[in-house]
Chains A and B, each alone.
Chain A
């Protein structure tokens, strides 16, 4: 394994080698000289209060090099505050934050060249032209990425001479992303990078994020877009009320809890699901079947993955005429569903089977109510 025994870099040798493209091995080798090789960002028990109210309340988070770590949560969950503590823009009231093994506030000078930041509100001066701004940020680094190549990658040339004030939201986001990565950072923090973007912009951004990951960069992004987290993230931290309430790969999160699959039925409204759930739960797990059938009204809400520890079918009429069942989907289960419909003389408009999506998990964890 080249990481553990990476030799000290000989500057003369480094200077004569002459290649300019960053590689994953090089990043990893560079990281090996730092205090912590495997972890790029480590947050332990972070607490941050505004006016005495804890916005972040004992949050733990880890991000690794060469991986995309998504911080997923509803508005006001504490995502941005957490990221700002990692960026050194806010000082924690409790807990520890380490970026590349260093304190983001105390060691800011050492970290700034190695950490790229895209703020949620952009943080772009409005009176300057798009590419002028990017060149300005690039001037802060000793060996920035070539600005024209980066602008090409993100399609900035089309509005290169337009002032930031006149750019659309998506165009601004692309400029902000370019500014975050122009210094060849080891760690990138992206606060809602796709907000306000059209699909083409989003694709360009996601491609760039994947490229950074391949180069060994640690990427931490906040989002409330499920597809963004599902498509991009190697690791997802679901945050609510200032804490991580679930953590894992997308696969781990969607597989966890009540079952690996869903059955979605569109039919007449107001059908009683109780007999169906009893049937579904009877053959395999009598215990949970008994639990469910003991409740006389139909189950109206999918229990959260945390609250329901046991395996078993649960379901609800999530909107009028749309029934969502969650459990171990197999041919027998589907037969039970159609039999239940046939008994009632109901012809379903559609019956679809599928996995639980990240959105299902997220809504189960954070609740379906508006807040």
Chain B
């Protein structure tokens, strides 16, 4: 019953340092996505198939604007990869975590809601890194020879796109039923891929889409990636569009996200 030694006997419950908590969560999220077959299909297999399909087949008659097919297509595929991870994959994962109470449970641990969000964003970036390595590897094998000086601009475009699409993912995941998110997130990915100015420049789209797509986050991200890799700089217009979407979607998610 000695009060002198008793306090040492029981470690006072304390949180791990924030960096360790967030790193643990980021690693946990990354592993969860890379281990899930459907997630891998959307984030890795789909972009690679699109890349190989557009470069090696000619069922789409591309106007490559004087570039080689691989140089012209790869930036768009990288943009598609960002969309698939930051948006579709993250929206579905978060929606089911929300339905299963995972978000609430982790929010009661020292990780908290802020740490959970930080872990998710870092997890997205980690998966994107894997995607870039795989897609760039395949592209190089197909003859892609990018300027290494474009790397900072590519990273910048990727981060801007990730911010906008993660905000959209959280807005959906925090407001709709999990099954609804599953449907919407996949459908939106398909629609934006086909008509959102991701893979091909918006001006090559039919009719009014040519003007509208550059205002979409997908079109802006596609233009940013092509600008970075084809012209060595990200167009200011795309940066503004992506920042605008991030602000609007982020504010919406912050206001409307329901944890229950």
Contacts and interface: CB of A to CB of B under 8 A. Distances in A.
Main secondary structure of the interface of A (DSSP, over half): loop
B9 A23 contact: yes
Interface string A82-103: 0000011110000000000000
Interface residues of A, number: 54
Given A2-B3, A109-B112, A122 B20 contact: no
Interface residues of B, number: 41
A142 interface: yes
A14 interface: yes
B110 interface: yes
A318 interface: no
Given A14-B8, A113-B110, A184 B13 contact: yes
B104 interface: yes
Contacts of A136: 24-25, 28
A185 B13 CA distance: 6
B117 interface: no
A14 B7 contact: yes
Contact of A142 (B7, B15, B36): B15
A19 B1 CA distance: 14
A23 B10 contact: yes
B109 interface: yes
A354 interface: no
A122 B106 CA distance: 11
Interface string B19-35: 01100110010011001
Given A2-B1, A121-B101, A122-B101, A13 B8 contact: yes
B133 interface: no
A29 B4 CA distance: 10
B9 A22 contact: yes
Interface stretch (A125-133, A326-334, A344-352): A125-133
A112 B108 contact: yes
B6 A89 contact: no
Contacts of B112: 108-109, 112
A38 interface: no
Nearest to A90: B260
Contact of A17 (B5, B21, B108, B259): B5
A122 B108 contact: no
A7 B8 CA distance: 13
B8 A112 contact: no
B228 interface: no
A143 interface: yes
Given A87-B108, A112-B110, A186 B13 contact: yes
Contacts of B97: 125
A176 B111 CA distance: 16
12 contacts: A9-B7, A18-B8, A22-B10, A25-B1, A29-B3, A89-B260, A90-B260, A112-B111, A122-B100, A128-B32, A136-B25, A185-B13
Interface of A: 2, 6-7, 9, 13-23, 25-27, 29-30, 87-90, 108-109, 112-115, 117, 119, 121-128, 136-137, 139-143, 176, 179, 183-186, 215
Interface of B: 1, 3-17, 20-21, 24-25, 28, 31-32, 35-36, 96-97, 100-102, 104-112, 259-260
